[in-house]
Amino acid sequence: MGWLWGSDSASSAKDKLDPSLQEFLKNEAPSGQKPTLPSKPIPQRNEASKAAQTNPPSPTEPAQLPEKPLVPPESQFQDGRYAHLWKNYTPQHILDERSKTEQDKLRDIVDAYNDRKADIGRVALENCAFEYMAQFDCFRNPSVGQMATLCRDESRKFNRCYDIQSKFLKALGYLTLDKRTPEEDEKIQMHADKLYQQLLAQEALIAKAKEEGKPIPTFESVLSKQNVSRAAVGKPLIPTEMPLPPDADDENDIWAHIKPSSRKEYEKKLATLPKEDQEIERKALLGELRAQTGISKKVEETFVEERLNRIKRREAGQATFGDTIKRWWGWD
C-alpha cells in the first residue's frame, strides 16, 4: 500500500517486479527516437523587428503582431504548421462547382427552391405542434361534443395556424435562396411564431372589447417593421388609438417584373378578403415574388456564365459540338 502515499520511488517499484516480467519489458521496450510533430513556427527576427526594438512604437500607434502563415479551416493546426502543404489547396465544394455543367447548375437552383418550399411546410408544422396534437387527440379519443362536431374547432385552429405561419415565413424571407446558417433559419422560424402569438393576442383583445362594449383598439400591422423587430426582442404589444400610416415598403422593384394585368387581377382578389387578412396575404405574396426574382437572377447569371465559357472555348479552338449547335441556333 506504499504507492498510495508515494513513499516508494518508481525504480524501487520496478525492482519488486518478477524477474521474468522485468526481462520481458526490457526486450519489448521500443528503441530509437520517438516521432515528434514539428514545433510551432517561431517568428524570425528580421530587420523590421530589430528596427522596431530600437525605435519602439508610439502610444498612439498599435503594435504590429507577427503574422502567422495562412492555413485553411480544414487544417488541424491553425497555428501555421504544415502551411507549405496547404499552399495550393482548393476546397472540395469549389472543385465540385467547377465540374458542374449548365444543366447541373440550373437543376441545383430548382432543387434548392423546391427544398425551401418543403421546408416552409415543415417549419410551419413545427410551430403549430400544439394545435396539431389537439386535433390528433380529438380524432383519437373524442368527447361526446367533439364527436358531434367531428373535431371541427380543433381542425379549424390547426389549419389556420398552419396557413398563417406559412405566410409569415414567406413574408420574413424564408423562401429566398440567400445563403443562411441554420441559426438564422431558426431565428426566422421563431419570429414567425412570435408574430402569430401576437396576432392571437390582438384578436383576443378585440374580442374582449366587443363583448364589453368598449372601443375596439387599433394595432399596427403584425408584419410591420416595428412589430417584426419587436418580436425579435420579445417586447409586449401596445395598442394605439390613433390611425397608423401604412407600412411603407419599396414594392415598385418587385412589381416591375410582373405584368400590370396580373397585378390588377391580384388586387381584385385581395379586395375580396377580410380587411385584417389583406396585409398578411399581401406580404406573403411579396415574399414569394422576392424569391422568384432571386431565382430569375441566378438563372440569368448561369446563362451569362455559360455563354462566356462558350466564347472562351471557341476563341481557344476547343469548341464542342454542343457549342457549335448553340451558335447555329443564334445563342451567341
Cβ-Cβ contacts under 8 Å for 239 (sequence gap 6 or more):
205, 217, 218, 219
Which neighbouring-strand residues pair with 132? none
* Angle (CA) 102 181 166, round 5°: 90
Which of 220, 176, 218 lies closest to 195, judged by CA? Answer: 220
Helix (H) or strand (E) holding 285: helix 275-315
Residue-wise pLDDT tens digits, 29-45: 666 565 565 566 555 55
Q: How far is CA 216 from CA 161, 197, 203, 204, 304, in A?
A: 24, 19, 10, 11, 56
pLDDT at 83 over 90: no
How many of the other CB atoms lie within 10 Å of CB of 283? 20
Q: How far is CA 297 from CA 146, 162, 202, 284, 300, in A?
A: 51, 30, 39, 20, 5
CA atoms within 13 A on the CB side of 122: 10
Residue-wise pLDDT tens digits, 131-189: 999 999 999 999 998 889 989 999 999 999 999 999 999 999 898 888 888 898 999 99
Q: Residue 164 corresponds to which cell in the numbers above?
A: 398563417
The larger pLDDT score, comparing residue 308 to residue 185, is at: 185
Let me know: does 109 contact 299? Beta carbons within 8 Å: yes
Please tell me the distance from the alpha carbon of residue 56 to that of residue 58, in angstroms, as a whole number. Answer: 7
Confidence of residue 2 (pLDDT cuts 50, 70, 90): very low
What DSSP designation does 245 have? Answer: P
How many of the other CB atoms lie within 10 Å of CB of 223? 24
pLDDT at 246 over 50: no
* Average pLDDT, integer, range 60-80: 70
AA letter at 81: R
